């Protein structure tokens, strides 16, 4: 098949989402290199993302392009040998086994604290904000932390485990605002060092550990933006670990990105360049994991807020880029911009969701009161 025919084929697919090659609207992609088309047909969404990073095409509004393409499920019409290989690997291998647990810390969270400090809010919260009554990123993240604390019915002196504590912003907030004793775990050395510094003088312990290495008992367990790294072969074990660590009258809050349909596939470009070995759970996969271990007290979906959060991160990242550029380089800029904006599109399209689940070990006496 000639490149001309390949271009025509891609063009017809894009037209299903009202996207025109070399069009004049903000979401229309502009092609700089015709090698794009065989690359996309051979490697699917991985080839599309790699071609963007290589400068073979551009788009003024990547977020809106992604929104339209994902809503029309165009990405599902590209099948590649790379995607097939990754799918088979995910089925045959436990990509998130303990010996590989720290890969995500090394490859993503250890990229550089300067990068994340420039992009995130002042507490360095790297998860979806809660925008119900917020005017900006700082307010949205504080509102999310208050929402979490209230859903967990935090009381002074409670012992809380923060699974995937990041740079310690949540632990610091709960220790200061709600007088909690917090143990935070992360698989990132750089996160841990900064978290210990930020939480100095507070009843906060930061450990570099995998969740399968934790011991002790806790009144509350919190996991924000970490379950995406657990992997479908480990969902049930994660819930067993949490159940064994939680006091009989305790509560756990699970905050995770999710998708509408069950799958064991990784998103090829995201898995290779942003979050290695990561995958998104479906409602069925989550509920199967905690069945007969926990009682589901509340399930809150506010995925549209992640669109706003990602767009706010992108604005901050692009504004800070002149200072970051000497260290990270132009290729990284294109990788990171593609990541942030296509992720925003995935939430805007409704393909991705953001869930907060509240779980108890045996039901809350008198009933649980849902908060929004």
Q: How far apart are CA 283 and CA 298, in angstroms?
A: 13
CB 349 within 8 A of CB 66: yes
Q: Is 343 a catalytic residue?
A: yes
* 296 SS3 class: strand
367 torsion bin: left (phi>0), alpha (psi -120 to 50), beta (else)? left
The string over 64-92, giving b where at least 16 C-beta atoms fall within 10 Å of a residue's C-beta and e elsewhere, is bbbbbbbebebbeebebebbeebeeebee
Q: Active-site residue among 59, 128, 165, 343?
A: 343
164 torsion bin: left (phi>0), alpha (psi -120 to 50), beta (else)? left
CB 368 within 8 A of CB 358: yes
Q: How far apart are CA 270 and CA 338, in angstroms?
A: 10
How far separated are the first and last CA of the chain, in Å rounded?
Answer: 54
Catalytic residues: 343
């Amino acid at each position: 098949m000639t490149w001309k025919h390949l271009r025509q084929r891609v063009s017809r697919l894009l037209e299903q989402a009202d996207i025109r090659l070399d069009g004049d609207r903000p979401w229309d992609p502009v092609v700089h290199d015709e090698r794009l088309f065989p690359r996309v047909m051979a490697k699917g969404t991985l080839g599309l993302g790699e071609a963007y990073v290589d400068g073979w095409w551009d788009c003024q509004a990547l977020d809106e392009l992604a929104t339209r393409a994902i809503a029309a499920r165009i990405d599902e019409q590209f099948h590649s040998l790379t995607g097939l290989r990754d799918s088979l690997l995910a089925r045959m291998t436990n990509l998130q086994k303990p010996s590989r647990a720290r890969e995500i810390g090394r490859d993503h969270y250890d990229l550089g604290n300067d990068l994340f400090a420039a992009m995130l809010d002042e507490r360095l919260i790297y998860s979806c904000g809660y925008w119900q009554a917020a005017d900006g990123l700082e307010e949205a993240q504080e509102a999310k932390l208050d929402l979490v604390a209230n859903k967990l019915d935090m009381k002074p002196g409670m012992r809380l485990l923060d699974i995937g504590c990041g740079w310690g912003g949540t632990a610091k907030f709960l220790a200061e605002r709600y007088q909690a004793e917090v143990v935070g775990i992360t698989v990132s050395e750089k996160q841990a060092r900064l978290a210990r510094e930020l939480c100095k003088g507070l009843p906060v312990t930061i450990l570099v550990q995998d969740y399968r290495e934790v011991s002790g008992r806790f009144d509350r367990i919190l996991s924000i933006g970490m379950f995406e790294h657990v992997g479908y072969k480990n969902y049930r074990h994660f819930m067993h670990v949490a159940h064994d660590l939680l006091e009989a009258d305790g509560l756990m809050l699970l905050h995770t990105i999710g998708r509408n349909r069950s799958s064991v596939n990784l998103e090829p470009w995201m898995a290779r360049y942003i979050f290695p070995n990561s995958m998104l759970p479906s409602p069925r996969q989550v509920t199967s994991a905690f069945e007969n271990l926990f009682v589901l007290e509340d399930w809150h979906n506010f995925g549209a807020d992640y669109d706003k959060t990602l767009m706010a991160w992108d604005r901050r990242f692009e504004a800070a880029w002149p200072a970051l550029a000497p260290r990270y380089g132009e290729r990284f800029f294109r990788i990171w911009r593609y990541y942030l904006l296509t992720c925003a599109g995935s939430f805007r399209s409704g393909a991705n969701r953001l869930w907060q689940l509240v779980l108890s070990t045996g039901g809350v006496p008198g009933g649980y009161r849902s908060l929004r």
